[in-house]
Structure 1
Amino acid sequence: MSAAVDHALDLAAFVAASPSSFHAAAEGARRLEAAGFARQIESEPWQGGPGGRYLIRDGALLAWRVPEGAGPTTPYRILGSHTDSPSFKLKPNPDFVSAGWGQVGVEIYGGPLLNSWLDRELGLAGRLALTDGREVLVRTGPIMRIPQLAIHLDRAVNDQGLQLSKQQHTAPIWLVGDDHRSVLDHLAGLAGVATAEIGGFDVLAYDTAAPAVFGIDDQFLASSRLDNLSSVHASLVALINSGPGDSISVLAAFDHEEAGSGSRSGAAGPILADVLDRIAGSLGADVDERHRALAGSYCLSADAGHAVHPNYAGRHDPVNRPLMNGGPLLKINANLRYASDARGAAIWHAACRAAGVTGQEFVSNNDLPCGTTIGPLTATRIGITTVDVGVPLLSMHSARELAGVEDLRALAQAMQAFLAG
């Protein structure tokens, strides 16, 4: 078995353990602890000094390694990513009945390809906030399905295209007939608490199908949530496997990127600045020294990008057409939807050369709008050189995306070289 396939299978295990952003943060923390990182509780005094530490804020995971000899002006090398993926979030009072079916009220989270979620066995996963102040993670097995209308009842669907109402056509079924059990009762039972103890919940749907490595030479990984657990996983691998360097290595896996990042655990919020500020304080840095450290710092913002689609090649730039298993992407946009500039590109190319990795460039077709990432937010909030990178995918924002196994490992290798300086 090749090293790339091994990496893809480990990513598959990470995805399977991470049906929600909260689970992704918890699984990342578990892996960090196994590698010797210690947990930092935000409300407790900061644990300074050399070594690896991490903290969890809601669905975000921050981790860092301070090298021996670090001082007030030691710069940072930051790996940015996000833990969330497009999905359907459980609404308040989610139980309702329609035409004899027990259904689940959900609100669309982010921008999923709606049709890709039809006719799949879905589960629910997330966190329950209890009235005594505790929080518990919960996940179900396959309990729901969003059924598609049979072609006999919509004869024109293949000619006119599928039209889905986000309110009317996306509510999953989970019961039928006189069975009127409550979704919250079911979640409470799985969590081992009483329903009355649930003070609030952040619970989302997930596709329960297992990730799969496939292809004639095991070239591909099909999985849900590759956008952006592929980058979170690569960041974890790079941080855990990298040795202490001349910089402070930081992993910043934010939540809520798919919804705009505007939260206390999102990239538009204060979490990264909070961590960098407290690290600097533990090193005795004054205001001037903190700015000097940031001036020498860099961030790789890693988020999935687009591979050229053979059936829709006209939707891509006619020259820059990334192929799957052709290497990780440098993502570029003239209007700063990505943060990459010449300086950042040079840093990325140097990391790829050091890792023995071949990279590719991605730029959008001028006639199509370009997405964005945490990169511009991080560059704006923290004021450091930031470069946007990632692996090429097909079917981005589908319930089941497609990646190349060689690209997945290559991203982690380039990240590790970046951390090494």
Structure 2
Amino acid sequence: MPSPSSAAEHIQDLGAYVSASPSSFHAAHEAARRLETAGFARLDELDPWEGMAGKYFMIRDGALIAWVVPEGAGPVTGFNILGAHTDSPSFKLKPKPTIGSQGWLQAGVEIYGGPLLNSWLDRELQLAGRLVMLDGTQHLTATGPMLRFAQLAIHLDRAVNDGLTLDKQRHMNPVWGLGSPGDVDLLAVLAQHASGGQGVKAAEIGGYDVVMADTQPPAVFGARGEFFASGRLDNLSATHAGLAALIAHASRTASSSAPIAVLAAFDHEEIGSNSRSGACGPVLEDVLVRISDGLGATVSQRRQALAASFCISADAGHAVHPNYAERHDPANQPVLNGGPLLKINANQRYATDANGAAFWARLCARAEVPYQEFVSNNVMPCGSTIGPLTATRLGIRTVDVGVPLLSMHSARELCGVEDPHRLAKVTELFFRTVA
């Protein structure tokens, strides 16, 4: 798959990636498909890894790590890592999910992360994720448009426009059909849609990780086509940028002194990253250690390699909102299509420091890409990213960046058409640049 060469091509390809990735498991699967098309080899964690020079990737649950080892790499060669995540705020299917009343079939869901609840109302939604069978085999499933959080009509709540209050237990149970819960099983529907519609036997499902996703296609719009609306831009915009950059980087002949380029797309960032496939878990360290082992590194040399390494933590950030400008820092107000964000926080909620900021500035200058600084209003504490987690866990120098958004954590977020492509351009340069 050729790397998108323009912002217009990149944004269309981002839309295709998002559409193919309604869950973290689908995002990892689609990334793997694209990597295999580009000549990357998939490695299994249960197998020995030998002869590390080349292009590889591995998948652990909803996370994917991909890397390119240049021919001249040795035991102390550093890693240049683009860190992102595959999950987004959503709703996750509960046990005994088939519920309902008053002749309606509903789904029992649990809130995943911090979705903007009202943005999910009155949309055509789908269920997507993985089914794990009793024999241990796994199958992806995606239903297509099937569910809806139906809002109460204004005639039955005359004060709704004065303030909408949604009870997470009572009001956030989507409808998906008509009938009695005793007559229909939602898992049977998921089973029918598994493996691209080939289906599996519902009685043989032993477990499932299934979330909801919006089904409205991504769209370019605006007076001059400057806006891009889509679900899951936080953080598939960065995962896709890293993927496109790594594939483009792999198509070039790297110098013998080039670092080992790594894309680390973690799962579970939206709920704290505390999992075997999250940034707090061992997945990245496991891969880096095995790459170093394959290059013949001693423990001391591996430490040298990590000291020479650098991580760009790429996660979506906030553009200034024209209707709520007072919620933003008065001096730092990023705009859409103004370039990727350099995210800064005095309390290390972002991992950026002066060294990282200077390195990012050099990269952007060389790539001829503008960038913007983001810092929170002091009375509006920011969230965090995988950046501080990676820096703390591995001691790798880290800087936090991202594409500016409006409507973050909405079912449908908004970015500028130019910014995702710019992030990919800087990332491709980063992959071949010694920090």
TM-score where L is the length of structure 1: 0.98
d(CA) in 2 for partners of 1:96 and 1:415? 46
Are 2:100 and 1:93 equivalent residues in the alignment?
no
Hey, what does 1:362 align to over in structure 2? 374
Pairs within 5 Å for 1:315-354: 315-354=327-366
Pairs within 5 Å for 1:251-400: 251-400=263-412
Read off the aligned partner of 2:423 and give its amino acid letter.
Answer: L
Are 2:228 and 1:217 equivalent residues in the alignment?
no
Q: Deviations over 1:321-375 (max 9, x none)?
A: 0010000000000000000001111111111111100100000000111110000
Deviation for aligned residue 1:49: 2.8
Read off the aligned partner of 2:110 and give its amino acid letter.
Answer: E
Are 2:431 and 1:419 equivalent residues in the alignment?
yes
d(CA) in 2 for partners of 1:347 and 1:98? 58
Cα 1:47/1:16, change in 2 over 3 Å = farther
Hey, what does 1:199 align to over in structure 2? 206
**Matched residue of 2:351: which SS?**
coil
d(CA) in 1 for partners of 2:396 and 2:428? 19
Are 2:143 and 1:140 equivalent residues in the alignment?
yes
Q: Deviations over 1:225-278 (max 9, x none)?
A: 000000000000111111334100000000000010000000000000000000
Deviation for aligned residue 1:48: 2.7
Moved more, 342-351 or 113-122: 342-351
Read off the aligned partner of 1:47 and give its amino acid letter.
Answer: E
**Matched residue of 1:413: which SS?**
helix
d(CA) in 2 for partners of 1:178 and 1:301? 47
Residue 184 of structure 1, aligned match among 170, 184, 187:
187
Contact 1:48 1:279 in 2 (8 A): no
d(CA) in 2 for partners of 1:396 and 1:91? 25
Read off the aligned partner of 1:63 and give its amino acid letter.
Answer: A
Read off the aligned partner of 1:135 and give its amino acid letter.
Answer: Q
d(CA) in 2 for partners of 1:128 and 1:187? 8
Hey, what does 1:33 align to over in structure 2? 36
Hey, what does 1:166 align to over in structure 2? 168
Are 2:169 and 1:155 equivalent residues in the alignment?
no
Q: Deviations over 1:7-55 (max 9, x none)?
A: 1000000000000000000000111111110000010111333110000
Are 2:77 and 1:74 equivalent residues in the alignment?
yes
Contact 2:268 2:277 in 1 (8 A): yes
**Matched residue of 2:247: which SS?**
helix
Moved beyond 4 Å, runs of 4+: none
**Matched residue of 2:65: which SS?**
strand
d(CA) in 2 for partners of 1:48 and 1:222? 43
Cα 1:99/1:294, change in 2 over 3 Å = same
Pairs within 5 Å for 1:108-147: 108-147=111-150
Unpaired runs of at least 5, structure 2: none
Contact 1:40 1:47 in 2 (8 A): no
Read off the aligned partner of 1:328 and give its amino acid letter.
Answer: P
Contact 2:100 2:180 in 1 (8 A): no
d(CA) in 1 for partners of 2:319 and 2:359? 23
**Matched residue of 1:108: which SS?**
strand
Q: Deviations over 1:354-410 (max 9, x none)?
A: 110010000000011111000000000010100000000000000000010111110
Deviation for aligned residue 1:158: 1.0
Hey, what does 1:45 align to over in structure 2? 48
d(CA) in 2 for partners of 1:15 and 1:250? 21
d(CA) in 2 for partners of 1:59 and 1:49? 24
Residue 239 of structure 2, aligned match among 209, 232, 235:
232
Contact 1:5 1:218 in 2 (8 A): no
d(CA) in 1 for partners of 2:420 and 2:348? 25
Q: Deviations over 1:187-222 (max 9, x none)?
A: 112222111110000000000110001122211110
Contact 2:146 2:176 in 1 (8 A): yes
**Matched residue of 1:102: which SS?**
strand
**Matched residue of 2:193: which SS?**
helix
The share of aligned pairs that are identical, in percent, is 65
Q: Deviations over 1:63-97 (max 9, x none)?
A: 01000111000001000000000000000000112
Read off the aligned partner of 2:369 and give its amino acid letter.
Answer: V
**Matched residue of 2:192: which SS?**
helix
